[in-house]
Amino acid sequence: MKQESSPRIFAAEQRSRWRSDPPGIWSLEGADLDSVPALSILTTLWDQPRWLEAYHLYDQRGSELFEEICRLPEYYLTRTENSILESHAADIIAAAPVQCVVELGAGTSKKTVHLLTEQTRRRGRSIFAPIDVSVSALLASQEAVRRDFPQIEFHGLHARYEEGFNAIEKSLPTLFVFLGSTIGNFNHTDFPRFFRALAAAMGPNDFLLLGADRVKPVKLLEDAYNDSRGITAEFILNVFRNINHRLHSNFDLDQMRYHSWYNPEWQQIEMFAVATESQQIRFPEMGASFHWRRDEKILVEISRKFEPLRLQEQLRFFELAPVKHFTDPDQWFSVLLLKKRG
């Protein structure tokens, strides 16, 4: 099969590193996104206290469960952010004169449709480059964009965040889109590391559109992560089924329960698996094991909540200057437009 020529979204030094297969979906040569990050799992499970990195949640079943969560009445984040984008897409695109839209962790890009609609209405031909670790999600996005936006040049990047945004040509005016309050999953070490890397990858005419969930009454927050149908509990505990499948470990899902709460000091929801009985957890291929004591917790995911003015001030230190702030009538969620300072 003839190799697709490298598109102009890639920086010159990056072009030879990317291959398209299937057409329109670009992967970094030599990267193995399907390899099991066993060391990541083991090092965090042996930490004090034990925890996991949130991306382990998103195997096939985990992704399906998260889609169900987004439709729950208690989970306000998705529909609230979508309503903001639907209401303000024209203002966002008018304030960000770009030729390219790059979405981080795009999934099937359902909410980004509002931005693409305005981008094509205002500027005609443009580029859309979603970044995701799921080829199936990128293919679904590609199909939808080709059907609904034939004037959009589509290039899906099958990559992790940093691999994707570091490949983008800095001279190409780009709007980087990072939605869903995914920044809430970053702990206090990951947060500055991520924004330092993203800002360094951005060019002088680039913008960032950032979705961030806000601090609000505790009951609203806790209900959103402990729904009455138990879908969130199933989503969080499914990570151990994924780990068992990948590492041939022996976590017993019948001997654990889900617990979440809002930590007011850290302004974050914390989601745990709690052992209901003691278990000896074994990783035979790694020659490792540990004793998971009854009532001991493993932190599976956090979801930080933000005060938007304070967040904007923090992002100034990464050379990201606030341009506009969009919110909903209840002021539950913020969508921030920022520009890279030249």
Residue 283: pLDDT over 70? yes
Question: For the chain, percent helix, then strand, then coil, each to nearest 5?
Answer: 40, 25, 35
pLDDT of residue 40: 87
CATH 3.40.50.2300 fits 12-33+74-216+305-340, yes or no: no
Band (1; pLDDT cuts 50, 70, 90): very low
As a whole number of angstroms, the distance between CA 190 and CA 275 comes to 27
Rounded to 5 degrees, what angle do the CA atoms 234, 240, 245 make?
Answer: 120
User: Over 70: is that where the pLDDT of 104 sits?
Assistant: yes
Give the pLDDT band of residue 2 (cuts 50, 70, 90).
very low
> Phi/psi of residue 311, each to 5°?
-65, -45
Ordered by start, the domain boundaries in the chain are 12-33+74-216+305-340, 38-71+218-304
Counting Cβ atoms within 10 Å, is residue 292 exposed (0-12), middle (13-18) or buried (19+)? buried
Q: In what order do the strands lie in the sheet with 297-304?
A: 256-263, 268-275, 297-304
| pLDDT, tens only, 231-274 | 999 999 999 999 999 999 999 999 999 999 999 999 999 999 99
Query: How many other CB atoms sit within 10 Å of the CB of residue 334?
Result: 24
pLDDT for residue 108:
62
pLDDT at 60 over 90: no
pLDDT tens digits along 198-224: 999 999 999 999 999 999 999 999 999
How far apart CA 194 and CA 196 sit, in angstroms, is 5
In percent, the amount of the chain with pLDDT more than 70 equals: 95
142-150: Cβ within 8 A, 24+ apart: 142/24, 142/25, 144/108, 144/109, 144/113, 145/109, 145/116, 148/113, 149/116, 149/117, 149/120
**Which residues lie closer than 8 Å to 25 by C-beta, 6 or more apart?**
135, 138, 139, 142, 156, 158
